[in-house]
Every structure is written in C-alpha cells, then in structure tokens.
Structure 1
Amino acid sequence: MMRVSLSGARGLMLISTLLLSTTAFAAPDATKIANSVVASLQAKGGTKASFDSAAANGDDVVITNLKISNEGSEATVPSVVIASPVERTPGGFTAKSIAFDAGKVVDGDQTISWKTGISNDAIVPDPSEMHSTAKITPFSHFEIAGISVVNKSAPDPVTVDSVTFDLGNVIDGAPNDGKLAISGINVPGSVLKSAGQGASTLTDLGYDSLLLNIGVDGGYDSAKNALTINGITVDGKDIGKLAIGGTFGGLPREKLQNADQLKELAPTATLEVASIRYDDAGLTNRLLDMQAKQLGAKREDLVAMVPGFLPLAFSQVNITDEAFKTQVSDAVSAFLKDPKSLSIKFAPTAPVLLMDVSKAAMVNPNGVISLLGVGVSANN
C-alpha cells in the first residue's frame, strides 16, 4: 500500500498554490487591455484614441490620460480604472466595472465636464463585433454624474445631476429592456434670458430657472417583434409632466437596430396602443394669466372664450365627427377651468399599419379618428 506523508501533502498544496498564483490570479496585461479600449473606440473610423500609460494595480488596470478625438472635438479622462478585466473570445474583455471620473469634452466653444462616471458589468468588444447585429450587452448600468456644460456665449453653465442608462432582460446576449434617466437638468435664468424667443418666454411667465427630468423606459419582445414604450417623460418643476407611451409591432430587431434598414420598417410597422398625457404643475395657470393680461381681459373670460375657437380649428382640418368634437370641447373646457391633466389615448380595435394612418389622414381625417380609436379626456 502506498502512503502519502504529511510532508508530501504539504508539497502538493504548495505547488497548487504557486500554480494558482501565477495563472488564475496573475495580474492582467495592462497594455493589452488598454489597447483593446483604443481598438474598440476606433473601430468605426473617424475616431482617434490614445493613452499615456497603462499599469496593473492588483486585479485592476489603470489607464492614464485617455484621449478620444473626433471631428474637432476631444475628450480627455485623466484616469480610467478597469476593475477585474478578463479577456474574451473573439477579443476585447469583460470587466466588473469601468470608472472614468473627472473627464471633459471640448467641442468648439463648448466644454462638457463631469465628476464621476461608471459602467458596471462592462463588455469592451472586439472591433469585428462593432456592428448593429452583434448580440452584446455593453453594460448593466451606466452613469455619469455632476455634469457641467459651459459655453463661451452663455453667461452661466447648464448643469445636470446625472445621466443613467440601465439594460436588462438579457436574452441570448442581447438586452431587451432599457431605461434612460437624465435627472436634474438645471438651466439658469441668465441662460434663458440670453437664449431665443422660446426660452425667453419662460422668463416672461415668471420662471427664474428651468429644472427638468427626462426619462425613457422601454422593452422589446423578440417573439412578437414588438417595441413597448413604457414611458417617454419630460417633467419640469412648476411646469408639468408630459408622458408618451405605446406599443408598436412589425419591428424586426435586425432592422430596428440598423440605421441603414430603418426605412424598410415602414411597410410593416403597426400601432397597437398609445397614449399622451400631460399633468399640469403650474404652466397652464401662468399661460392663462399672461394671455389675459396681454388681452386686457379677465382670466375667467379667457377660459370661457378658448373652447369657442375649437369649431374653427375642427373645420380647418375637416373634422366633422360630432361626438369627437363634443368630447374634445368638454375635455378642454374642464382642463382650463381646473388644470390637472389632459389625456389622449389611441386604442384601435386591431393593430393598424402606420402607413395606412398617414394615407387615411390625407383623405379622411374623421376616418383616422375611428381607425385609431382616439379618445380625449381631462382631469382623470
């Protein structure tokens, strides 16, 4: 019988430890990882990228002074920290995260800078995979925070608290759900006053700054070739919130994500259901007060007058559907008297080809209303 001595077992453990420390736990090839970043950035042409140095720091790679230039603009990130990169086939790498803090982009008279940037569960693909049909989820969460936009012609910077982008519901390597949030967009009053007529109107309405949040939330159903927009929202402080949603069919993924094939979607794209909703947070009252002042009228008289202009508007677009006209008039009247919400819903009895909608609109606007199942309501 063969016996293994204690010293022999210790020897095996020592050899195993040495093997593990020099293979599985070997420091990443920092230069190779950095070159992969450059190759990915330059894959589509027109973009140039470079870095000063790359070094391993434990399991991480630190790239110093990454520069990216394209058509006169230049981005600089003093330090890019790639956490636990792992090389992949056919090329590129995966990483627990990629941090790119304190960067800036200079484009002509405009400079965009940020305090922190992070991409979690990151994939930096091989240049051969940089095409629209590649099934890759580049990150699970992407965020840039503390953004400042400075323009030489503007008196003060426009700031943004954060921009986040989340991808989920990954099937066969490709994400099917996406959520974008742009939070805390702050446009100072000084910028509004120096901008065009549309922006200066806001100051006339009594806004000394503009604070917005923007969101886009949607998902794709590969089995149905359908895109659902859970919400495209624009929410302004003391202004109101506009929300748009809907489901659209007949959209094969390979065409939807290829800019060269988007025009091929026209014959197949359908509307299944959609909605537009505005929740007022002060804008309507300010508009009514301003218009009443300009006309030298009382606000309540103006509220009573506006619905009277609707018949003219209907005649201009050849709408004769009396039930629909009454529905719109009632909704507008209710909203102006007590501005809370105004909604438009599209609920066709069956999915409608968008091409058919445009054709019907040119021939018979009343038919479009019936075709799309349009409904208008207020304060619900």
Structure 2
Amino acid sequence: MSIIHKQLRALALSTLFGGLAVTGASAQAVEEALDRLKALSADQGVTLDWASADISGDDAVLSGVTVTVDGKSTPISDITLSGISEVDSGYRIERLEADDYSMSNDGGSVAVEGVEMTGLLLPSEEDRDAYGGFLFYETIAVASMSVAAQGNEIFSLTDLQAEVTAGEAGEPMSFTGGADGFTVNLSFLEPQQRAIMQALGYEELQGYLEMEGSWQPTDGRIELSQYDVTVDGAGTFGLSFDLAGYTPDFIASLRELQQQALANPDGDKSAQGMAMLGLAQQLSFNRAEIAFDDDSLTGKVLDFVAAQQNMSASDVANQAKAILPFVLAQLGDPDLTAKITQAVSTFLDDPQSLRITAAPPAPVPFALIAAGAMSAPKELTKTLGVTVTAND
C-alpha cells in the first residue's frame, strides 16, 4: 500500500502550491514571497520548483510545477491563481484552480480532476502559527481522484470538499468536510484475505466520509468532533477526540524541532525523541471515542465464523461472550472487564452500536499518560476513564 501513500502525499502537496505564486505590487515583492514559500516548504522537507510563472495583474499561472520529497521529484499540473493581494497577515489568493492531471511511478498512478481552493492565505512569519501551523483556506474541493496499482484501479474518491471558518472575537476556528463517495477495489489483497472478504459478501467497498471539528488558538484546544467513515452494507466507523495545549507557541516549538531533525537527519534519534516527548507534555487529554454503528457487518462475520466451525451464529456469539472475561482479565480491572463484557454481550445479541470512550473527570496531562503507560499500564484505563457501551 506504500504506492497509495506516496501518491496521496503528492496530491496533498499539490494544494500547497497555491501559495507559490503569491504576488505583491512589484517584482521584488513577488520574489520575496516565492523565496518565503520555498523556505517554509523546505522546513517540512519539501522542495518546490516551477518552470515559469506568468503574472498578469493580480492573477498568475504556474507552469511546470514540481515537488521533490526525499530526493524524488513529482510533476504537478499547471495552476491558475486569481485575485492575489497582499494583506496584513501575509498574502491572500481568492481562487486556485489546478488543471486535471495524472502521475505515474513505482508501478502505480493517481489521476485528479477538479482541484479548486478559495480564500487561500499564506501567513507572514509573525502570523504563521495563528492558523494551526498550516496554510489557511476557506474552501477546498476535488471533483474526483483515482489511484491505480499495476494497471488496476484500487481506489477512487468523488466530490471531496472541506470548509474552514476563521474565528472572530476570540471564537475558535471551525472546519467541516467530507467526500460524497469512495470505492476500494479489494483485488490488491492477498488471495486468502480476498477470499474472506468475498465470503463476507464484499467484492469492493463503497461508502462516504464526514468530518467536523474546531481549534481554539487561545488555549490550544483542538476538537475532532466527527470523523466518520461509512461503508455501505457494513457500518460506520467513527473517531473523535478533544485535546488541549496545541497553542501557537506549541506549534512554533514543534516546527523548531522538525527543522533541527531535518537539518541533522543522522543525529541522535533518542535525543530527538526525548525532545519531542518533552514538548508533548504541554498537551493534555480531555476525551476520545472510537465508535462502530453496525449495518449488517457483525451478522456477516458471525455467519462466516459459524460456517468455518460448523456452528450456528448464535453459538458463535455465545462462545465469544463466554471467553471474553478470561481474555480481559489481563487488564487487571474487574470493573472495566465487567462493563466490556456486558456491552459486547448486548451488542452481539442485538448489533446496533459499540463505543469505547475515554473521558477522565478532569484533563490529563500527556506527561502523566506517558508515565502511567511505562510504570503502571494497568492503571491507565482508570486514569483515562475508559468505558465501553453498546446500543446507546
């Protein structure tokens, strides 16, 4: 699957190029902005280049754009930038549009159509961390994307979009997004794995994505209130979390550590790890949840296991309920073991939803979590207030 990761990373980096053509009222301002963008990109281990920049008034077209990551260059389509202006916090681009393009390497390829961004802001040095350490945009959309490996399309995505709203008067920055549809062709699986998926009734996976969250710069509270992946005929897998301490100061410190690591790739990894751990101690944990809302997947799995063992699905469920307390005994938390056993039993009897929630009564510093994981891992579930519920 590394080919997929490489191609998707290249796609993500292509959106960054919107900032490459920020322009001011003079050629000097343009060159300063481009130099600035190259420096910011280099901080992240990315080298940006282009063959030409055709500037006309407050519009620009970049041609022959390339991205170099880990010494490997990837060409990107021409990019049209409209409504470029200099603002107090840096530069603003009203609209970015990328031509449809495709890339191929390492036996795989990715094709992208309809890439568009609006309200793209390239922050100045003083304001670079005021937007979470990333380029800020108001909207982004990708009409379609497909990924192929060894000549077979294994992933496609349609109508990917996101919207970001900058907070005013102390309000947090908020974001929403999703994709109307995706398809995963399971032909890339090993024969044994694919046979299992076929037995469950899945030749391919189809579904959609939804996400929502916010970030408050003043106290660094970042909430991912929804990140749901729905697979048709299976269910919805959800993730949410609530952390604090991701402040602009934290972002600046994190960037400095990243720059040091990039400048000295052969340096002491343990020292770099300790520095990163020390920085993470500024963060605190408020809440997290992993959820599954069933849409027939559980019944299919029970039927499959039952067929393999010449049993009924209900017998398989009862066997699982009987074994579970012994498996969970190693947690060393009888109360949590009882809660999990009850929740799983309820879910297997009537598969609707299953949720694992960590919600401590008060924020827990990451330093305490790290120390607990090393010294008393069996106490960590109590520290984080872990509970498991079903069909709620």
Q: TM-score, normalised by structure 2?
A: 0.74
Q: Match for residue 42 of structure 1?
A: 38
**Correspondences of 1:52-71 after superposition (within 5 Å):** 52=52, 54=54, 56=56, 60-70=59-69, 71=71
**Correspondences of 1:1-380 after superposition (within 5 Å):** 39=35, 42-43=38-39, 44-45=41-42, 46-52=46-52, 54=54, 56=56, 60-70=59-69, 71-78=71-78, 80-88=79-87, 93-124=91-122, 138-151=136-149, 153-170=150-167, 176-192=173-189, 195=190, 201-256=196-251, 258-259=254-255, 260=257, 262-321=276-335, 324-360=336-372, 367-380=379-392
Distance of aligned partners of 1:225 and 1:90 in 2 relative to their CA distance in 1, 3 Å threshold? closer
Q: Secondary structure at the match of 2:208?
A: strand
Distance of aligned partners of 1:350 and 1:84 in 2 relative to their CA distance in 1, 3 Å threshold? closer
Q: Supply the distance in 2 between the matched residues of 1:318 and 1:158 (Cα, whole angstroms).
A: 42
Distance of aligned partners of 1:130 and 1:373 in 2 relative to their CA distance in 1, 3 Å threshold? closer
Q: Which has the higher helix share?
A: 2
* Cα deviations by residue, 1:269-298 (Å, 9 ceiling, x for unpaired): 322233222101121111111111111111
Q: Secondary structure at the match of 1:85?
A: strand
Q: Supply the distance in 1 between the matched residues of 2:52 and 2:170 (Cα, whole angstroms).
A: 33
CA contact (8 A) 1:53 1:65 kept: no
Offset of residue 173 of structure 1: 12
CA contact (8 A) 2:50 2:63 kept: no
Bigger relative CO (Cα 8 Å, ≥ 6 apart): 2
Q: Which amino acid aligns with 2:213?
A: G
Offset of residue 201 of structure 1: 3.6
Offset of residue 140 of structure 1: 0.8
Q: Secondary structure at the match of 1:84?
A: strand
Q: Secondary structure at the match of 2:152?
A: coil
Q: Secondary structure at the match of 2:343?
A: helix
Q: Which amino acid aligns with 1:155?
A: N
Q: Secondary structure at the match of 2:299?
A: helix
Q: Which amino acid aligns with 1:47?
A: T
Q: Supply the distance in 2 between the matched residues of 1:300 and 1:98 (Cα, whole angstroms).
A: 56
Q: Supply the distance in 2 between the matched residues of 1:88 and 1:140 (Cα, whole angstroms).
A: 16
Offset of residue 124 of structure 1: 4.3
Offset of residue 256 of structure 1: 4.0
Q: Match for residue 5 of structure 1?
A: none
Offset of residue 196 of structure 1: 7.4
Q: Supply the distance in 2 between the matched residues of 1:75 and 1:350 (Cα, whole angstroms).
A: 49
Q: Secondary structure at the match of 1:289?
A: helix
CA contact (8 A) 2:139 2:161 kept: yes
Identity of aligned residues (%): 21
CA contact (8 A) 2:155 2:182 kept: yes
Offset of residue 141 of structure 1: 0.9
Q: Supply the distance in 2 between the matched residues of 1:88 and 1:42 (Cα, whole angstroms).
A: 20
Q: Match for residue 15 of structure 2?
A: none
Q: Match for residue 15 of structure 1?
A: none
Q: Supply the distance in 2 between the matched residues of 1:121 and 1:297 (Cα, whole angstroms).
A: 59
Q: Which amino acid aligns with 2:201?
A: G
Greater displacement, 307-316 / 174-183: 174-183
Q: Which amino acid aligns with 2:106?
A: G
* Cα deviations by residue, 1:292-323 (Å, 9 ceiling, x for unpaired): 111111111111111111121122332333xx
Give 5+ residue unaligned stretches, structure 1.
1-27
Q: Which amino acid aligns with 1:144?
A: V
Greater displacement, 30-39 / 335-344: 30-39
CA contact (8 A) 1:137 1:175 kept: no
Offset of residue 255 of structure 1: 1.5
Q: Supply the distance in 2 between the matched residues of 1:33 and 1:117 (Cα, whole angstroms).
A: 27
Q: Secondary structure at the match of 2:289?
A: strand
Q: Supply the distance in 2 between the matched residues of 1:97 and 1:110 (Cα, whole angstroms).
A: 30
Offset of residue 364 of structure 1: 5.3
Offset of residue 347 of structure 1: 2.8
Q: Which amino acid aligns with 1:190?
A: S
Q: Secondary structure at the match of 2:360?
A: coil
Give 5+ residue unaligned stretches, structure 2.
1-23, 258-274
CA contact (8 A) 1:215 1:232 kept: yes
CA contact (8 A) 1:255 1:262 kept: no
Offset of residue 42 of structure 1: 3.0
